[in-house]
Amino acid sequence: MTIIKELEETIHKLSAKGKGILAADESTGTITKRFEAIGIESSEDNRRAYRELLVTSPDASKYIAGVILFEETLNQKTSQGILFPQALKNLGILPGIKVDKGLIHLANTKDEQVTQGLDGLPERLAEYKAKGACFAKWRAVYAISDQTPSELAIETNAEILARYAAICQAQGIVPIVEPEVLIDGTHTIQRCEEVSEPVLHAVFNALYRHKVKLEYIVLKPSMVISGKACSQKASVDEVAAATLRVLKRTVPGAVPTINFLSGGQSSEQATAHLDAMNKQGPLPWNLSFSYARALQDSCMKTWLGQSKNAAAAQKTFSKRALLNSLAATGKYAEAMEKDEISLAS
């Protein structure tokens, strides 16, 4: 199969209407914090059991097109003795892999960060692909203050995201391009919009320079939203309008799918905002989700590391995935949060 054919097949599945991507790629440090906060021991077996619980939830494949894995999970087997990538494929879900190596300080800036991991990336991607990965993810972050993000941080992160994306496509792997404008801070939604537009503009300029084929990428941006500590909370409609305004100004129509990160929003907020945007259609791209905590939070708190809670936790996860699937087609309503909805719908 040619590289283009591989990319076409993967993006076709990842951009299916009403399906999203589960981000289950938390580093060991991050998932340990989340586990310990609710009293779960972060052992390798508990991490494996939890991620198996997520991906084997009933009807998950109806709402989830792909799962981003952490390297540990890529190399683990399920309780049935099947490697995770193969287990996902057996369920009709594509396996992906987080490939960046985390954040480091960007020299000559004040507390700004850049993502590392380009060294040896082609070789790592070849190894991940041999293990079954079809797509990859790389995250850049931008903190908002009166002085940040700086032009240096915006341009440096854009260049690195584009280099990563080009390397992925050369290997036949679809890149998820994730420029995350952080929700932390007191900034207003207007300040977030001021920042988000040049960030995305720089990313697409860099992708163009590196000859990345936009038809074979997933854009995973943050929504345009007021900071967590802002006293003026933007409404659902304001978030939807500002986010779409920025996307229409910066994202070419060639991009097939935009799968938002939740970035610290509550599960209900992330779903409501996605739904409000899809109710504005028609739009030039598929708008869906690639959530971590906003899909997993209630499931993890129901499970609590105990096998007796597994079925209830899976039901909770499947409902959350269904609600986001409905939001990805503009058919969600807040009343559904309290309803017992049929997971077969």
Q: Exposed/middle/buried for 167, CB within 10 Å: 0-12, 13-18, 19+?
A: buried
The two tokens of residue 78 are 């399920």
- Our answer to whether residue 268 is catalytic in this structure is no
- Our answer to whether residue 220 is catalytic in this structure is yes
The two tokens of residue 248 are 């229409």
Q: Exposed/middle/buried for 173, CB within 10 Å: 0-12, 13-18, 19+?
A: buried
- In the set 19, 98, 137, 220, the catalytic residue is 220
Residues 6+ apart with CB under 8 A from 166: 210, 211, 212
CA distance 62 to 345: 10
CA distance 323 to 7: 28
Greatest Cα pair distance in the chain: 54
- 8 Å CB contact between 185 and 142: no
CA distance 248 to 250: 6
SS (H, E, C) 276-342: HHHCCCCCCCEEEECCCHHHHHHHHHHHCCCHHHHHHHHHHHHHHHHHHHHHCCCCCCHHHHCCCCC
The amino acid sitting at 197 is E
Nearest to 25 by CA among 133, 130, 171: 133
- In the set 52, 112, 178, 238, the catalytic residue is 178
The percent of the chain in helix, strand and coil, each rounded to the nearest 5, is 50, 15, 35
Q: Three-state SS for 21?
A: strand
For the annotated catalytic residues, the residue numbers are: 178, 220
